[in-house]
Amino acid sequence: MLFKQLKDNKNILDTDFNTIYPSPLDDLAGLHFSPITVIQDAIEFLVQQEGTRVLDIGSGAGKFCMVGASCSTGVFTGVEQHEHLHLISKKMSKYYQIKDVHFIHQNINTINFSDYDAFYFFNSFYENLDISDSLISNMEINRDLYHEYSAYVYNQLQNMPIGTRLVSYFSYNLEIPNNYLLQSSSHEGKLKMWIKTT
């Protein structure tokens, strides 16, 4: 029902949507999952034609990909290293019969960005710097991993063709190469739209 309403451009509250997730994910969703309005603004920028391949870098429990696939003609892939979040994504997308959405259980540094056209990044690696309110029970602070993952994303984005689109949310911009030009920002400056220009 929720996803049909999204397809029909009906307004859905995040508090209602997040109830599809089991506890404690539903309680932490407001902190860790992108708001629906943010997702809708992001996909309007990212999906420029039918079949645009969008990669969600650190997809968590799959909210961005599932909402994106319901609201657009893009094809969404989420990569997530934490198995229990990946399995929830797979279960939810199968249960709600969402098409054009795929989930990969891998580390980001195994992903070749050239397989995709556009990218969404919601500060996925911050979990290595701050473990308060973490979705992962055994997380430990690891600054080296934070910088390693950020550098990998930076290098992959840098090698993408001119015209590549990227949306970042709550990012420190460490992952964004200088040849990506900021097109616009919204949601109090937290949501930023980028295009590779050189």
For residue range 113-136, list pLDDT tens digits in order: 999 999 999 987 766 566 555 555
> What's the pLDDT score for residue 22?
85
pLDDT band at residue 139 under the 50/70/90 scheme: low
> What's the pLDDT score for residue 27?
67
C-alpha to C-alpha distance for 68 and 7, rounded to whole angstroms: 10
Give the mean pLDDT of the chain: 91
Q: Is the pLDDT of residue 155 over 70?
A: yes
Q: Is the pLDDT of residue 35 over 70?
A: yes
C-beta of residue 101 within 8 angstroms of C-beta of residue 76:
yes
| Tally of CB atoms within 10 A around 168 | 24
> What's the pLDDT score for residue 41?
98
DSSP letter, residue 162: T
Q: CB-based contacts of 129: which residues, under 8 Å, 6+ apart? A: 141, 143, 146
Alpha-helical (H) ranges within the chain are 2-7, 14-17, 25-32, 36-46, 63-71, 83-95, 143-158
Please identify which residue in the block is written with the tokens 């089991």.
22
> What's the pLDDT score for residue 2?
86
19's tokens:
């109830």
> What's the pLDDT score for residue 130?
64
> What's the pLDDT score for residue 131?
53
| Helix 63-71, helix 36-46: angle, nearest 10 | 60
Domains of the chain (ranges; CATH) run: 2-196 (3.40.50.150)
For residue range 71-89, list pLDDT tens digits in order: 999 999 999 999 999 999 9
